[in-house]
Amino acid sequence: MAVVAVLGAGSWGTTFAKVLSDAGSEVTLWARRPEVAHAVRSTGRNPEYLPDVQLPAGLRATSDHREALDGADTVVLAVPSQSLRSNLAGWVADLPPGATLLSLAKGVELRTLERMSEVVREVAGVPADQVAVLSGPNLAREIAVGQPTATVIACTDHDRAVALQQACTTGYFRPYTNTDVVGCELGGAGKNVIALACGMAVGMGLGGNTTATIITRGLAEVARLGVALGARQETFAGLAGLGDLVATCSSPLSRNRTFGELLGRGSTLAQAQEAAHGQVAEGVKTCTALRELAARHRVEVPITDGVHRVCHEGAPVSAMARELLGRSTKPE
Ligand SMILES: NC(=O)C1=CN([C@@H]2O[C@H](COP(=O)(O)OP(=O)(O)OC[C@H]3O[C@@H](n4cnc5c(N)ncnc54)[C@H](O)[C@@H]3O)[C@@H](O)[C@H]2O)C=CC1
Ligand SMILES: O=C(CO)COP(=O)(O)O
């Protein structure tokens, strides 16, 4: 049986802790705020993120990261991308030696332009084969109520990926393994940016043809950048690429799509941020990191560029649409 510490009790950390527990793993969930850990312990619910979901009786919760990490063979990192480095730096002295470090975050770090597995390797000082990532069409709320989905666990060490797969397979959650860590991470980070663009289109009142175009051309640009960074093209046709892109761009549950929709209806960035109630829309920062990464590798990412300009340069959404449609025509 896997002994797992899940560090981060937001929507996804709490839901994934439930999945692991339902799969028979021994799980301790760490929450930053003591009152959240206390509520999970005393009521079996996370009032902040999933108030109506009953968590498994065996799931433990604490606000002391040492208690969560004690004896763990697997450490799940479930905090937002831009805070992963600082959070992990606070935990690193207490990480059990040899434990697999699994990142759930979907983003690229600003300034360093590092993927999450790179941040984890650097901060924890562990080899690449000790670090895994999980990415796929995984809207937390649907999984929390037991709706079926699949995902990808990517690790350069296939045996570690298989151990993780066994630790979280349930009747409603089906993980596949993959060794293409770069592709899975780029798929997860990139789809949040494309979901912002889809949301903007929906907010402007545009229909299915437009969103299908954004999804398809969005996939093309994310895959183009991923391949330039060493990813395999096929990964982008899988769950961590197309799968997650379709789920996120189509679902009103997506925070990124919802954020984009507010911008498309004319809200300012600050208004959209306020409406998100502190929940993270990763694409807002990742668009800038991906755009810089693309420039460094001389890869064209026009949708990502447009999202960055709307979010951070004050460009109106209508100007972004005009610019994308005004680009020179070309073969597909
Ligand atoms: N919610 C979802 O459906 C899914 C989310 N993800 C990814 O998982 C990661 C975590 O997402 P969620 O759990 O949904 O986020 P969330 O916004 O619901 O929760 C974030 C958690 O991190 C904690 N945290 C620790 N340090 C923080 C800091 N400095 N700033 C902000 N929060 C901090 C918060 O207290 C909270 O427990 C993100 O990268 C997201 O893209 C991936 C798949 C599904
Ligand atoms: O990653 C997700 C689904 O796979 C969740 O997307 P949002 O962060 O946009 O809610």
3-179 CATH: 3.40.50.720
The answer to whether the CB of 139 is under 6 A from ligand 2 is yes
The domain ranges of the chain are 3-179, 182-325
Residue 149 has pLDDT above 90, yes or no: yes
Q: How far is the CA of 138 from the centre of ligand 2 (A)?
A: 7
How confident is the model over 56-77, as pLDDT tens digits? 999 999 999 999 999 999 999 9
Cα(309) to ligand 1 centroid in Å equals 25
Residues 6 or more apart whose CB falls under 8 angstroms from that of 215 comprise 194, 198, 245, 246, 249
pTM value is: 0.97
List pLDDT tens digits, range 278-325. Answer: 788 999 999 999 999 999 999 999 999 999 999 999 999 999 999 999
Q: Does 78 contact ligand 2 (Cβ within 6 A)?
A: no
Cβ contact 232:180 at 8 Å: yes
Q: How far is the CA of 85 from the centre of ligand 1 (A)?
A: 13
Q: Which of 79, 103, 153, 277 to mutate to test the pocket of ligand 1 (most atoms within 8 A of CB)?
A: 79
**Residue 32 is labelled as binding a ligand:** yes
Please tell me the predicted confidence (pLDDT) of residue 279.
82
Ligand nearest to the CA of 192: 2
Q: How far is the CA of 331 from the centre of ligand 1 (A)?
A: 39
- How far is Cα 28 from Cα 76, in angstroms, rounded to an integer? 10
Global ipTM: 0.97
Ligand nearest to the CA of 241: 2
Residue in this structure with the two tokens 């030696």, named with its chain if needed = 97
CATH H-level, domain 182-325: superfamily: N-(1-d-carboxylethyl)-l-norvaline Dehydrogenase; domain 2 (1.10.1040.10)
DSSP letter, residue 197: H
Across residues 109-136, what is the average pLDDT?
98
For the chain, percent of residues with pLDDT exceeding 70: 100
- CB of 170 within 6 A of ligand 1: the answer is no
Active site annotation includes 191: yes
Residue whose C-alpha is closest to residue 263's, from 327, 326, 302, 308: 308
174: left (phi over 0), alpha (psi -120 to 50) or beta: beta
Query: Does residue 11 line the site of ligand 1, with CB under 6 A?
Result: yes
